[in-house]
Amino acid sequence: MTAATAPGTAVTAPAGPGTAVSVAAAPGPVVSVPVSGSVWRQQVGIADVRAAAERLAPVGVLTPLQHSPRLSERTGATVYLKREDLQVVRSYKIRGAYNFIAGLSAESLAAGVVCASAGNHGQGVAWSCRHLGVRGAVFLPRRTPRQKVARIRSLAGELVEVRFAGDSFDDANAAAAAYAAERGATVVPTFDHPATVAGQGTIALEVLEQLGRAPDVMTVPIGGGGLASGIAVALDGLGAPTEVVGAQPAGAPAMMRSLEAGHRVTIDIEDPFVDGAVVRTPGALTFDVVRELVPRLVAVAEGRVCTELLDLYQIDGIVAEPAGALALAALDDVAAEIVGRTVVCILSGGNNDVARYDEIIERSLVHEGLKHYFVIGFPQRPGALRRFLDECLGPTDDIVLFEYIKKNDREFGPALVGIELATRTDLEPLLARIAASGLDVQRLPPDSPMARLLV
Ligand SMILES: Cc1ncc(COP(=O)(O)O)c(C=O)c1O
Protein backbone atom coordinates (compact mmCIF):
# COMPACT_ATOMS: atom_id res chain seq x y z
CA MET A 1 0.00 0.00 0.00
CA THR A 2 1.11 3.51 -0.59
CA ALA A 3 1.24 6.82 1.14
CA ALA A 4 -1.15 8.85 3.16
CA THR A 5 -4.44 10.48 2.33
CA ALA A 6 -6.27 13.24 4.14
CA PRO A 7 -7.29 13.93 6.81
CA GLY A 8 -4.53 12.32 8.81
CA THR A 9 -1.09 11.03 8.28
CA ALA A 10 -0.21 7.52 7.30
CA VAL A 11 2.69 5.58 8.63
CA THR A 12 4.32 2.86 6.60
CA ALA A 13 6.10 0.41 8.82
CA PRO A 14 8.26 -2.57 8.79
CA ALA A 15 9.23 -5.80 7.34
CA GLY A 16 11.02 -8.58 9.14
CA PRO A 17 13.14 -8.73 12.24
CA GLY A 18 16.49 -7.04 12.29
CA THR A 19 15.74 -4.68 9.42
CA ALA A 20 15.78 -0.90 9.43
CA VAL A 21 12.53 0.43 8.09
CA SER A 22 11.24 3.64 6.72
CA VAL A 23 8.46 5.29 8.66
CA ALA A 24 7.04 8.06 6.54
CA ALA A 25 4.57 10.37 8.21
CA ALA A 26 3.08 12.74 5.66
CA PRO A 27 3.58 15.64 5.71
CA GLY A 28 6.31 15.30 8.35
CA PRO A 29 9.81 13.92 8.08
CA VAL A 30 10.89 10.41 7.18
CA VAL A 31 12.54 8.60 10.04
CA SER A 32 14.38 5.33 10.22
CA VAL A 33 13.26 2.88 12.88
CA PRO A 34 15.58 0.03 13.78
CA VAL A 35 13.62 -3.15 14.41
CA SER A 36 15.57 -5.24 16.86
CA GLY A 37 14.67 -8.98 16.77
CA SER A 38 11.08 -9.86 17.51
CA VAL A 39 11.08 -10.05 21.30
CA TRP A 40 7.28 -10.24 21.25
CA ARG A 41 7.49 -13.62 19.48
CA GLN A 42 8.73 -15.09 22.77
CA GLN A 43 5.61 -13.81 24.50
CA VAL A 44 2.70 -14.53 22.18
CA GLY A 45 2.09 -16.59 19.04
CA ILE A 46 -0.47 -18.58 17.12
CA ALA A 47 -0.41 -21.42 19.69
CA ASP A 48 -1.62 -18.94 22.35
CA VAL A 49 -4.36 -17.71 20.04
CA ARG A 50 -5.50 -21.27 19.38
CA ALA A 51 -5.46 -22.02 23.13
CA ALA A 52 -7.53 -18.89 23.72
CA ALA A 53 -10.03 -20.03 21.08
CA GLU A 54 -10.43 -23.36 22.90
CA ARG A 55 -10.92 -21.60 26.21
CA LEU A 56 -13.48 -19.26 24.70
CA ALA A 57 -15.39 -21.89 22.73
CA PRO A 58 -17.81 -22.84 25.56
CA VAL A 59 -18.46 -19.16 26.29
CA GLY A 60 -19.99 -18.64 22.84
CA VAL A 61 -18.14 -15.61 21.50
CA LEU A 62 -18.49 -16.48 17.80
CA THR A 63 -19.97 -13.47 15.95
CA PRO A 64 -21.26 -13.27 12.36
CA LEU A 65 -19.16 -12.12 9.42
CA GLN A 66 -21.60 -10.19 7.25
CA HIS A 67 -21.30 -8.91 3.71
CA SER A 68 -21.89 -5.13 3.55
CA PRO A 69 -23.61 -4.21 0.26
CA ARG A 70 -23.42 -0.50 1.18
CA LEU A 71 -19.67 -0.38 1.79
CA SER A 72 -18.95 -2.76 -1.09
CA GLU A 73 -20.84 -0.51 -3.49
CA ARG A 74 -19.16 2.60 -2.17
CA THR A 75 -15.62 1.26 -2.33
CA GLY A 76 -15.64 -1.17 -5.25
CA ALA A 77 -14.25 -3.80 -2.84
CA THR A 78 -16.05 -6.82 -1.40
CA VAL A 79 -16.48 -5.63 2.17
CA TYR A 80 -17.43 -7.79 5.14
CA LEU A 81 -18.14 -6.69 8.69
CA LYS A 82 -17.05 -8.76 11.66
CA ARG A 83 -19.92 -8.00 14.03
CA GLU A 84 -18.26 -7.77 17.45
CA ASP A 85 -21.06 -5.41 18.48
CA LEU A 86 -23.19 -8.56 18.77
CA GLN A 87 -21.19 -10.00 21.66
CA VAL A 88 -23.10 -10.35 24.93
CA VAL A 89 -21.06 -7.37 26.20
CA ARG A 90 -21.43 -5.60 22.81
CA SER A 91 -17.71 -5.51 22.09
CA TYR A 92 -14.81 -7.87 21.40
CA LYS A 93 -13.38 -7.10 24.86
CA ILE A 94 -14.92 -10.24 26.32
CA ARG A 95 -12.36 -12.31 24.41
CA GLY A 96 -9.19 -10.92 25.99
CA ALA A 97 -10.71 -10.40 29.44
CA TYR A 98 -12.12 -13.92 29.69
CA ASN A 99 -8.97 -15.52 28.31
CA PHE A 100 -6.86 -13.69 30.88
CA ILE A 101 -9.09 -14.34 33.91
CA ALA A 102 -9.86 -17.97 33.06
CA GLY A 103 -6.09 -18.59 32.84
CA LEU A 104 -5.37 -17.43 36.42
CA SER A 105 -4.46 -19.87 39.18
CA ALA A 106 -7.09 -20.86 41.76
CA GLU A 107 -5.18 -18.81 44.32
CA SER A 108 -5.22 -15.65 42.18
CA LEU A 109 -8.89 -16.14 41.37
CA ALA A 110 -9.64 -16.35 45.08
CA ALA A 111 -7.87 -13.01 45.66
CA GLY A 112 -10.05 -11.37 43.01
CA VAL A 113 -9.36 -9.22 39.95
CA VAL A 114 -9.45 -5.52 39.15
CA CYS A 115 -9.32 -3.49 35.95
CA ALA A 116 -9.35 0.01 34.58
CA SER A 117 -11.61 0.62 31.64
CA ALA A 118 -12.97 3.31 29.36
CA GLY A 119 -16.18 1.28 29.45
CA ASN A 120 -15.91 -1.81 27.28
CA HIS A 121 -13.09 -3.75 28.93
CA GLY A 122 -15.00 -3.31 32.21
CA GLN A 123 -17.98 -5.08 30.66
CA GLY A 124 -15.78 -7.95 29.51
CA VAL A 125 -14.27 -8.24 32.99
CA ALA A 126 -17.65 -7.91 34.75
CA TRP A 127 -19.24 -10.59 32.58
CA SER A 128 -16.25 -12.92 33.00
CA CYS A 129 -16.22 -12.47 36.79
CA ARG A 130 -19.90 -13.31 36.99
CA HIS A 131 -19.52 -16.29 34.67
CA LEU A 132 -16.54 -17.67 36.61
CA GLY A 133 -17.78 -16.66 40.09
CA VAL A 134 -14.79 -14.38 40.74
CA ARG A 135 -14.81 -11.18 42.81
CA GLY A 136 -13.73 -8.05 40.96
CA ALA A 137 -13.60 -4.27 40.78
CA VAL A 138 -13.85 -2.04 37.71
CA PHE A 139 -12.36 1.46 37.80
CA LEU A 140 -13.79 3.96 35.31
CA PRO A 141 -12.93 7.57 34.49
CA ARG A 142 -15.72 9.86 35.70
CA ARG A 143 -16.62 10.88 32.15
CA THR A 144 -17.43 7.32 31.00
CA PRO A 145 -20.63 7.45 28.90
CA ARG A 146 -23.67 6.63 31.02
CA GLN A 147 -24.76 3.77 28.81
CA LYS A 148 -21.46 1.97 29.45
CA VAL A 149 -21.67 2.52 33.21
CA ALA A 150 -25.22 1.16 33.26
CA ARG A 151 -24.21 -1.88 31.20
CA ILE A 152 -21.24 -2.68 33.49
CA ARG A 153 -23.50 -2.41 36.52
CA SER A 154 -26.07 -4.73 35.02
CA LEU A 155 -23.46 -7.30 33.97
CA ALA A 156 -21.54 -7.12 37.23
CA GLY A 157 -24.15 -8.37 39.66
CA GLU A 158 -23.13 -8.68 43.30
CA LEU A 159 -19.61 -9.85 42.66
CA VAL A 160 -18.17 -6.78 40.95
CA GLU A 161 -17.76 -3.32 42.39
CA VAL A 162 -17.87 -0.31 40.05
CA ARG A 163 -15.75 2.67 41.08
CA PHE A 164 -14.88 6.03 39.51
CA ALA A 165 -11.42 7.60 39.52
CA GLY A 166 -10.22 10.76 37.83
CA ASP A 167 -10.97 12.16 34.38
CA SER A 168 -8.98 9.90 32.13
CA PHE A 169 -8.28 6.25 31.52
CA ASP A 170 -4.79 6.81 32.95
CA ASP A 171 -6.30 8.05 36.24
CA ALA A 172 -8.53 4.97 36.42
CA ASN A 173 -5.50 2.81 35.65
CA ALA A 174 -3.51 4.30 38.54
CA ALA A 175 -6.44 3.73 40.91
CA ALA A 176 -6.81 0.12 39.76
CA ALA A 177 -3.08 -0.48 40.33
CA ALA A 178 -3.33 0.98 43.86
CA TYR A 179 -6.36 -1.21 44.61
CA ALA A 180 -4.50 -4.29 43.36
CA ALA A 181 -1.47 -3.53 45.53
CA GLU A 182 -3.64 -3.01 48.58
CA ARG A 183 -5.86 -6.10 48.16
CA GLY A 184 -3.58 -8.55 46.39
CA ALA A 185 -6.01 -8.61 43.45
CA THR A 186 -4.77 -9.30 39.91
CA VAL A 187 -5.02 -6.49 37.37
CA VAL A 188 -6.75 -7.61 34.17
CA PRO A 189 -4.77 -5.70 31.51
CA THR A 190 -6.75 -3.67 29.01
CA PHE A 191 -4.48 -4.40 26.07
CA ASP A 192 -0.83 -4.91 26.97
CA HIS A 193 -0.59 -8.58 27.92
CA PRO A 194 0.00 -11.78 25.93
CA ALA A 195 -3.24 -13.38 27.20
CA THR A 196 -5.28 -10.30 26.30
CA VAL A 197 -3.67 -10.11 22.87
CA ALA A 198 -4.18 -13.85 22.27
CA GLY A 199 -7.86 -13.57 23.26
CA GLN A 200 -8.50 -10.69 20.84
CA GLY A 201 -6.60 -12.62 18.14
CA THR A 202 -9.29 -15.32 18.10
CA ILE A 203 -11.28 -12.96 15.86
CA ALA A 204 -8.82 -13.65 13.03
CA LEU A 205 -9.25 -17.43 13.36
CA GLU A 206 -13.01 -17.01 13.05
CA VAL A 207 -12.76 -14.66 10.07
CA LEU A 208 -10.59 -17.08 8.07
CA GLU A 209 -12.91 -19.94 8.89
CA GLN A 210 -16.05 -17.96 8.04
CA LEU A 211 -14.67 -16.56 4.80
CA GLY A 212 -13.09 -19.85 3.79
CA ARG A 213 -9.83 -18.04 3.04
CA ALA A 214 -7.71 -15.11 4.18
CA PRO A 215 -9.09 -11.68 3.22
CA ASP A 216 -6.80 -9.38 1.22
CA VAL A 217 -7.14 -6.57 3.75
CA MET A 218 -8.40 -6.25 7.31
CA THR A 219 -9.11 -2.85 8.84
CA VAL A 220 -8.84 -2.79 12.62
CA PRO A 221 -9.31 0.00 15.20
CA ILE A 222 -6.30 0.79 17.36
CA GLY A 223 -6.34 2.35 20.83
CA GLY A 224 -3.73 0.68 23.03
CA GLY A 225 -3.16 -1.88 20.27
CA GLY A 226 -4.42 -5.13 21.85
CA LEU A 227 -6.99 -5.95 19.17
CA ALA A 228 -4.71 -5.13 16.23
CA SER A 229 -1.82 -7.05 17.80
CA GLY A 230 -3.94 -10.14 18.40
CA ILE A 231 -5.25 -10.15 14.85
CA ALA A 232 -1.83 -9.48 13.36
CA VAL A 233 -0.16 -12.20 15.47
CA ALA A 234 -2.81 -14.73 14.42
CA LEU A 235 -2.59 -13.86 10.71
CA ASP A 236 1.20 -13.92 10.85
CA GLY A 237 1.18 -17.29 12.61
CA LEU A 238 -1.18 -18.73 10.02
CA GLY A 239 0.96 -17.39 7.18
CA ALA A 240 -2.03 -15.40 5.85
CA PRO A 241 -1.11 -12.81 3.20
CA THR A 242 -3.67 -10.33 4.63
CA GLU A 243 -2.61 -6.70 4.98
CA VAL A 244 -3.72 -5.27 8.31
CA VAL A 245 -4.62 -1.58 8.28
CA GLY A 246 -4.80 0.07 11.70
CA ALA A 247 -7.31 2.88 12.22
CA GLN A 248 -6.66 5.52 14.88
CA PRO A 249 -8.78 8.50 15.87
CA ALA A 250 -7.21 11.66 14.35
CA GLY A 251 -7.58 13.39 17.72
CA ALA A 252 -5.76 10.65 19.66
CA PRO A 253 -3.18 8.91 17.44
CA ALA A 254 -0.86 7.58 20.17
CA MET A 255 0.29 4.50 18.24
CA MET A 256 0.99 6.53 15.08
CA ARG A 257 3.01 9.12 16.95
CA SER A 258 4.94 6.32 18.67
CA LEU A 259 5.76 4.64 15.34
CA GLU A 260 6.95 7.97 13.98
CA ALA A 261 9.14 8.49 17.04
CA GLY A 262 10.50 4.94 16.90
CA HIS A 263 9.53 4.36 20.52
CA ARG A 264 6.41 4.63 22.66
CA VAL A 265 5.37 8.20 23.33
CA THR A 266 2.66 9.70 25.52
CA ILE A 267 0.47 12.15 23.64
CA ASP A 268 -1.92 14.92 24.61
CA ILE A 269 -5.44 14.04 23.57
CA GLU A 270 -6.78 16.61 21.11
CA ASP A 271 -10.20 15.06 20.76
CA PRO A 272 -11.58 12.39 23.14
CA PHE A 273 -14.68 11.72 20.99
CA VAL A 274 -13.78 8.13 19.96
CA ASP A 275 -13.72 7.20 23.64
CA GLY A 276 -13.06 3.44 23.25
CA ALA A 277 -9.87 4.03 21.28
CA VAL A 278 -8.49 7.03 23.16
CA VAL A 279 -5.25 6.08 24.88
CA ARG A 280 -2.35 8.39 25.72
CA THR A 281 0.36 5.72 25.54
CA PRO A 282 0.25 2.47 23.54
CA GLY A 283 1.31 -0.79 25.17
CA ALA A 284 4.92 -2.05 25.11
CA LEU A 285 4.09 -5.50 23.72
CA THR A 286 1.44 -4.10 21.38
CA PHE A 287 3.79 -1.39 20.11
CA ASP A 288 6.37 -4.03 19.18
CA VAL A 289 3.81 -6.19 17.40
CA VAL A 290 2.18 -3.31 15.51
CA ARG A 291 5.58 -1.94 14.53
CA GLU A 292 6.48 -5.21 12.93
CA LEU A 293 3.21 -6.60 11.62
CA VAL A 294 0.81 -3.76 10.86
CA PRO A 295 2.12 -2.16 7.69
CA ARG A 296 -0.20 0.78 7.57
CA LEU A 297 -1.90 3.07 10.08
CA VAL A 298 -4.34 5.82 9.17
CA ALA A 299 -5.72 8.67 11.27
CA VAL A 300 -9.45 8.90 10.74
CA ALA A 301 -11.23 12.23 11.20
CA GLU A 302 -13.83 12.14 13.98
CA GLY A 303 -16.39 13.72 11.63
CA ARG A 304 -15.93 10.84 9.16
CA VAL A 305 -16.52 8.37 12.01
CA CYS A 306 -19.77 10.23 12.76
CA THR A 307 -20.96 9.96 9.17
CA GLU A 308 -20.24 6.22 9.26
CA LEU A 309 -22.12 5.88 12.58
CA LEU A 310 -25.15 7.54 10.99
CA ASP A 311 -24.97 5.41 7.84
CA LEU A 312 -24.76 2.28 9.98
CA TYR A 313 -27.78 3.40 11.96
CA GLN A 314 -29.94 4.80 9.15
CA ILE A 315 -29.08 2.43 6.30
CA ASP A 316 -27.93 -0.81 7.92
CA GLY A 317 -29.89 -0.65 11.18
CA ILE A 318 -26.72 -1.20 13.23
CA VAL A 319 -25.95 0.62 16.47
CA ALA A 320 -22.20 1.10 16.63
CA GLU A 321 -20.13 3.21 18.99
CA PRO A 322 -17.47 5.62 17.70
CA ALA A 323 -14.54 3.21 18.22
CA GLY A 324 -16.69 0.46 16.72
CA ALA A 325 -17.12 2.38 13.47
CA LEU A 326 -13.48 3.50 13.23
CA ALA A 327 -12.28 0.63 11.02
CA LEU A 328 -15.22 1.12 8.64
CA ALA A 329 -14.64 4.86 8.42
CA ALA A 330 -10.98 4.12 7.57
CA LEU A 331 -12.02 2.61 4.22
CA ASP A 332 -12.03 6.11 2.71
CA ASP A 333 -8.36 6.48 3.64
CA VAL A 334 -7.40 3.36 1.69
CA ALA A 335 -10.05 3.68 -1.05
CA ALA A 336 -7.61 3.66 -3.96
CA GLU A 337 -5.91 0.46 -2.84
CA ILE A 338 -8.87 -1.78 -2.05
CA VAL A 339 -10.84 -1.72 -5.31
CA GLY A 340 -11.59 -5.30 -6.41
CA ARG A 341 -10.19 -6.77 -3.19
CA THR A 342 -11.80 -8.58 -0.26
CA VAL A 343 -11.79 -6.47 2.87
CA VAL A 344 -12.90 -7.36 6.39
CA CYS A 345 -13.62 -4.46 8.75
CA ILE A 346 -13.79 -5.15 12.47
CA LEU A 347 -16.94 -3.53 13.82
CA SER A 348 -15.52 -3.69 17.30
CA GLY A 349 -18.29 -2.37 19.54
CA GLY A 350 -21.87 -1.17 19.81
CA ASN A 351 -22.08 0.48 23.22
CA ASN A 352 -23.38 3.85 22.12
CA ASP A 353 -25.21 6.20 24.41
CA VAL A 354 -28.34 7.53 22.67
CA ALA A 355 -27.56 10.96 24.12
CA ARG A 356 -24.52 11.13 21.83
CA TYR A 357 -26.50 11.18 18.59
CA ASP A 358 -27.04 14.99 18.60
CA GLU A 359 -23.30 15.50 18.66
CA ILE A 360 -22.79 12.74 16.10
CA ILE A 361 -25.23 14.41 13.67
CA GLU A 362 -23.64 17.82 14.21
CA ARG A 363 -20.07 16.59 13.68
CA SER A 364 -21.10 14.63 10.62
CA LEU A 365 -22.82 17.65 9.03
CA VAL A 366 -19.77 19.85 9.64
CA HIS A 367 -17.42 17.17 8.31
CA GLU A 368 -19.54 16.67 5.19
CA GLY A 369 -19.46 20.42 4.54
CA LEU A 370 -23.22 20.74 5.06
CA LYS A 371 -23.27 22.94 8.14
CA HIS A 372 -21.52 26.29 8.51
CA TYR A 373 -21.36 29.00 11.14
CA PHE A 374 -21.05 32.76 10.59
CA VAL A 375 -20.87 35.88 12.73
CA ILE A 376 -22.81 38.61 10.93
CA GLY A 377 -22.64 42.26 11.93
CA PHE A 378 -26.19 43.48 11.30
CA PRO A 379 -26.73 47.24 11.00
CA GLN A 380 -29.22 48.06 13.76
CA ARG A 381 -31.96 49.34 11.52
CA PRO A 382 -35.23 47.83 10.33
CA GLY A 383 -34.92 45.59 7.27
CA ALA A 384 -31.29 44.51 7.81
CA LEU A 385 -32.23 40.92 8.54
CA ARG A 386 -34.65 40.82 5.59
CA ARG A 387 -31.83 42.03 3.33
CA PHE A 388 -29.61 39.17 4.51
CA LEU A 389 -32.38 36.63 3.92
CA ASP A 390 -33.25 37.99 0.46
CA GLU A 391 -29.76 38.64 -0.84
CA CYS A 392 -27.66 35.90 0.72
CA LEU A 393 -29.74 32.78 1.30
CA GLY A 394 -30.29 30.33 -1.57
CA PRO A 395 -33.63 28.50 -1.95
CA THR A 396 -32.52 25.41 0.00
CA ASP A 397 -30.16 27.09 2.51
CA ASP A 398 -31.64 26.60 5.96
CA ILE A 399 -30.98 28.75 9.03
CA VAL A 400 -30.60 26.32 11.94
CA LEU A 401 -29.14 28.71 14.52
CA PHE A 402 -29.70 32.41 15.06
CA GLU A 403 -28.46 34.17 18.21
CA TYR A 404 -28.94 37.94 18.36
CA ILE A 405 -29.58 40.39 21.16
CA LYS A 406 -30.58 43.91 20.18
CA LYS A 407 -28.61 46.65 21.96
CA ASN A 408 -30.01 50.13 21.32
CA ASP A 409 -26.78 52.04 21.86
CA ARG A 410 -24.88 50.35 19.04
CA GLU A 411 -24.78 50.88 15.30
CA PHE A 412 -24.08 47.20 14.53
CA GLY A 413 -25.23 44.11 16.40
CA PRO A 414 -23.39 40.82 15.86
CA ALA A 415 -25.46 37.68 15.32
CA LEU A 416 -24.29 34.09 15.37
CA VAL A 417 -25.88 32.27 12.43
CA GLY A 418 -25.74 28.55 11.57
CA ILE A 419 -26.74 27.53 8.05
CA GLU A 420 -27.38 24.01 6.81
CA LEU A 421 -26.99 23.35 3.10
CA ALA A 422 -28.69 20.74 0.94
CA THR A 423 -25.38 19.84 -0.75
CA ARG A 424 -21.78 20.85 -0.07
CA THR A 425 -21.60 22.55 -3.51
CA ASP A 426 -24.08 25.16 -2.24
CA LEU A 427 -21.32 26.72 -0.11
CA GLU A 428 -19.44 28.58 -2.88
CA PRO A 429 -22.55 30.40 -4.20
CA LEU A 430 -23.58 31.24 -0.62
CA LEU A 431 -20.16 32.75 0.13
CA ALA A 432 -20.27 34.69 -3.18
CA ARG A 433 -23.71 36.15 -2.37
CA ILE A 434 -22.51 37.08 1.15
CA ALA A 435 -19.45 38.85 -0.32
CA ALA A 436 -21.60 40.74 -2.85
CA SER A 437 -24.06 41.86 -0.14
CA GLY A 438 -21.48 44.10 1.50
CA LEU A 439 -22.60 42.83 4.93
CA ASP A 440 -19.95 42.35 7.58
CA VAL A 441 -19.79 38.53 7.68
CA GLN A 442 -17.11 36.35 9.22
CA ARG A 443 -17.12 32.61 8.65
CA LEU A 444 -16.11 30.44 11.61
CA PRO A 445 -13.76 27.77 10.20
CA PRO A 446 -14.83 24.26 11.33
CA ASP A 447 -11.61 23.75 13.29
CA SER A 448 -11.71 27.14 15.04
CA PRO A 449 -12.17 27.14 18.83
CA MET A 450 -15.52 28.98 18.49
CA ALA A 451 -16.88 26.45 15.97
CA ARG A 452 -15.69 23.60 18.20
CA LEU A 453 -17.59 25.17 21.08
CA LEU A 454 -20.77 25.08 19.00
CA VAL A 455 -20.25 21.45 17.96
C1 LIG B 1 -15.09 -0.77 20.71
C2 LIG B 1 -13.60 -0.67 20.79
N3 LIG B 1 -12.90 -0.67 19.64
C4 LIG B 1 -11.57 -0.54 19.64
C5 LIG B 1 -10.84 -0.42 20.80
C6 LIG B 1 -9.34 -0.28 20.77
O7 LIG B 1 -8.75 -1.49 21.08
P8 LIG B 1 -7.24 -1.66 21.61
O9 LIG B 1 -7.09 -0.81 22.83
O10 LIG B 1 -7.11 -3.09 21.89
O11 LIG B 1 -6.36 -1.17 20.52
C12 LIG B 1 -11.52 -0.45 22.02
C13 LIG B 1 -10.80 -0.36 23.29
O14 LIG B 1 -11.36 -0.26 24.35
C15 LIG B 1 -12.93 -0.57 22.02
O16 LIG B 1 -13.63 -0.59 23.15
pLDDT digits (tens, 9 = 90+) for 94-106: 999 999 999 999 9
Q: Separation of 402 CA from ligand 1 center, angstroms?
A: 39
- Candidate from 63, 125, 227, 229 with most ligand 1 atoms within 8 A of CB, to mutate: 227
Ligand 1 atom nearest to 93, measured from its CA: 16
- What's the confidence (pLDDT) of residue 8? 35
Catalytic residues: 93, 348
Average pLDDT over every residue of 428-435:
91
Q: Look at 348 and 31; give whichever has higher pLDDT.
A: 348
- What's the confidence (pLDDT) of residue 409? 65
Please tell me the CATH code under which domain 40-90+194-362 is placed: 3.40.50.1100
Each domain of the chain, given as residue ranges in start order, spans: 40-90+194-362, 115-187, 369-454
Ligand 1 atom nearest to 221, measured from its CA: 4
User: Looking at the predicted structure, is the pLDDT value of residue 345 above 70?
Assistant: yes
Amino acid identity of residue 256, one-letter, is M
Q: Separation of 417 CA from ligand 1 center, angstroms?
A: 38
- What's the confidence (pLDDT) of residue 16? 32
Q: Where are the alpha helices (DSSP H) in 44-193?
A: 46-56, 69-75, 93-102, 106-111, 120-132, 146-156, 169-183
User: Residue 170: which pLDDT band, with cuts at 50, 70 and 90?
Assistant: confident
Contact (Cβ atoms closer than 8 angstroms) between residue 299 and residue 210: no
- Candidate from 120, 173, 308, 319 with most ligand 1 atoms within 8 A of CB, to mutate: 120
pLDDT digits (tens, 9 = 90+) for 377-394: 888 778 888 888 899 999
Average pLDDT over every residue of 340-361:
95
Which protein residue's CA is at the shortest distance from atom 10 of ligand 1?
A: 226
Helix (H) or strand (E) holding 206: helix 194-211
User: Residue 145: which pLDDT band, with cuts at 50, 70 and 90?
Assistant: confident
- What's the confidence (pLDDT) of residue 454? 74
Residue 22 neighbours by CB distance under 10 Å:
13
Which protein residue's CA is at the shortest distance from atom 5 of ligand 1?
A: 277
The region, left, alpha or beta by phi > 0 then psi within -120 to 50, assigned to residue 137 is beta
Specify the pTM: 0.85
Q: Separation of 347 CA from ligand 1 center, angstroms?
A: 10
Which protein residue's CA is at the shortest distance from atom 12 of ligand 1?
A: 276
Domains 40-90+194-362 and 369-454 share a fold: no
- What's the confidence (pLDDT) of residue 168? 79
Please tell me the CATH code under which domain 115-187 is placed: 3.40.50.1100
- What's the confidence (pLDDT) of residue 227? 98
- Candidate from 193, 279, 348 with most ligand 1 atoms within 8 A of CB, to mutate: 348
Selection from 275, 279, 263, 268 nearest residue 170 by Cα? 279
pLDDT digits (tens, 9 = 90+) for 10-51: 443 333 333 333 333 333 333 334 445 689 999 999 999 999
pLDDT digits (tens, 9 = 90+) for 216-238: 999 999 999 999 999 999 999 99
Contact (Cβ atoms closer than 8 angstroms) between residue 231 and residue 203: yes
Average pLDDT over every residue of 40-68:
97
The sign one gets for the Cα dihedral 64, 302, 270, 322 is: negative
- How high is the mean pLDDT of the chain? 89
Task: Among 6-10, 168-172, 287-291, 399-403, name the one with the lowest average pLDDT.
Answer: 6-10
Domain 369-454, what fold? Answer: Alpha-Beta Plaits (3.30.70)
Q: Separation of 264 CA from ligand 1 center, angstroms?
A: 18
Q: CA angle at residue 113 from 109 to 117, to 5 degrees?
A: 150
- What's the confidence (pLDDT) of residue 28? 34
Contacts of 75 (CB under 8 A, 6+ apart): 331, 335, 338, 339, 343
Pocket of ligand 1 (CB under 6 A): 91, 93, 118, 120-121, 191, 221-228, 276-277, 321, 323-324, 348-349
pLDDT digits (tens, 9 = 90+) for 80-124: 999 999 999 999 999 999 999 999 999 999 999 999 998 899 999
For β-strands 398-403 and 296-300, DSSP reports them as unpaired
